[in-house]
């Protein structure tokens, strides 16, 4: 089975995902905007444009561009973004942008999807202007063993072990490319509503669930429903990795 999610199949329901629109404003972009009043920003793997929408509202003078390999996801992004936000179809390993064109290059919940991660990092760096910033924001599976997807669909653990780099590996790869890097992992424990988790699982638009076989998927949904009989919530956890890096001037 392929370990690459077909977003053409899940683009229509992607924005219905549990907690997918909980997007804080980037502190790195705030710092860059203080230095460069009209920052040029690239979102690699922009999906349906949620991160771009938040940052268009927060930074109305910014020049925003999104790149994604899925034209279906880009079509959803186009519906919610103004025309001055540029959307391009392309791969992270071959970005369709000029060298040093952006003051901030962001990659949000997408790095694990890239097939050739070293080449993708080279491309992210190529697109970053001297003195500019690079930001990677993603789940960190090594620090969230109790995440509901892994707990109820155990076959997804091996999938994510193959797809995700550790936080240390990402930091070391960026440092090896000459960037100044800081990173943090924020772990949260909270009560998640099982009705919402069941609805999200049944849509099967979480990338891990789109990759497991049908028997494993049905078994996981059944386990969620069994848990729902015991109460309305389940203790869930998430670990969010934020990597901020600056390119030398």
Cα 74 to Cα 47: distance, rounded to the nearest angstrom: 6
Q: Write out the two tokens for 200.
A: 């999200």
Q: What is the domain extent for residue 35?
A: 11-246
> Is residue 97, in this structure, part of any structural domain at all?
yes
**Is 1 part of any domain?**
no
- Nearest CA to 219 out of 192, 201, 232, 233 is that of 201
- String of b and e for 210-229 (b: at least 16 CB within 10 Å)? bbbeeeebebbbeebeebbe
- As a whole number of angstroms, the distance between CA 69 and CA 15 comes to 17
CA 151 to CA 236: how far, in whole Å? 9
Question: What percent of the chain lies above the pLDDT cut of 70?
Answer: 98
Taking only the tens place, the pLDDT of each residue in 78-123 is 999 999 999 999 999 999 999 999 999 999 999 999 999 999 999 9
Write the CA distances from 210 to 8, 111, 215, integer angstroms.
11, 17, 12
Beta-bridged to residue 43, according to DSSP, are 66, 106
In-domain check, residue 140: yes
pLDDT (0 to 100) of residue 3? 61
Helix (H), strand (E) at residue 133: strand 128-139
The answer to whether position 51 is within a domain reads: yes
Note whether residue 5 is domain-resident: no
Q: Please tell me the number of Cα atoms within 13 Å of 27 on its side-chain side.
A: 8
Entry pTM: 0.93
Q: How far apart are CA 27 and CA 10, in angstroms?
A: 30
Asked if the structure places residue 3 within a domain, the reply is no
For the chain, what is the domain count? 1
Alpha-carbon torsion, ordered 47, 82, 89, 95, to 10 deg: -90
Task: Tell me the CA distances in angstroms from 15 to 20, 21, 29, 134, 136, one per residue in order.
Answer: 7, 8, 24, 25, 21
Residue 168 lies in a domain: yes
Let me know if residue 178 belongs to a domain.
yes
Selection from 26, 51, 34 nearest residue 135 by Cα? 26
Tell me: the pLDDT tens digits for 188-198? 999 999 999 99
Q: CATH code at 110?
A: 3.40.50.150
211 confidence band (pLDDT: 50, 70, 90):
very high
Select from 216, 240, 126, 229 the least CA-distant residue to 178: 126
pLDDT, mean over the chain: 94
């Amino acid at each position: 089975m392929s370990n690459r999610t077909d977003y053409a199949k899940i683009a229509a329901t992607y924005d219905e995902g549990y907690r997918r629109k909980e997007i804080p404003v980037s502190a790195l972009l705030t710092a860059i905007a203080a230095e460069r009043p009209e920052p040029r920003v690239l979102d690699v793997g922009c999906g349906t444009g949620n991160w771009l929408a938040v940052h268009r509202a927060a930074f109305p003078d910014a020049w925003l561009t999104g790149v994604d390999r899925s034209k279906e996801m880009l079509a959803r992004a186009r519906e919610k973004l103004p025309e001055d936000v540029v959307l391009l179809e392309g791969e992270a390993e071959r970005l369709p942008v000029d060298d040093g064109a952006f003051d901030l290059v962001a990659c949000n919940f997408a790095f694990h999807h890239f097939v050739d991660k070293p080449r993708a990092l080279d491309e992210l760096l190529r697109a970053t202007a001297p003195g500019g910033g690079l930001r990677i924001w993603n789940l960190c599976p090594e620090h969230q063993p109790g995440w509901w997807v892994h707990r109820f669909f155990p076959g997804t653990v091996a999938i994510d072990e193959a797809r995700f780099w550790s936080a240390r590996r990402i930091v070391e790869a960026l440092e090896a490319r000459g960037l100044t890097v800081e990173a943090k992992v924020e772990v949260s424990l909270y009560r998640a509503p099982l009705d919402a988790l069941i609805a999200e699982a049944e849509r099967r638009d979480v990338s891990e669930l789109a990759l497991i076989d049908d028997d494993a998927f049905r078994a996981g949904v059944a386990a969620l429903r069994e848990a729902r009989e015991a109460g309305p919530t389940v203790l869930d956890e998430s670990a969010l990795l934020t990597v901020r890096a600056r390119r030398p001037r």
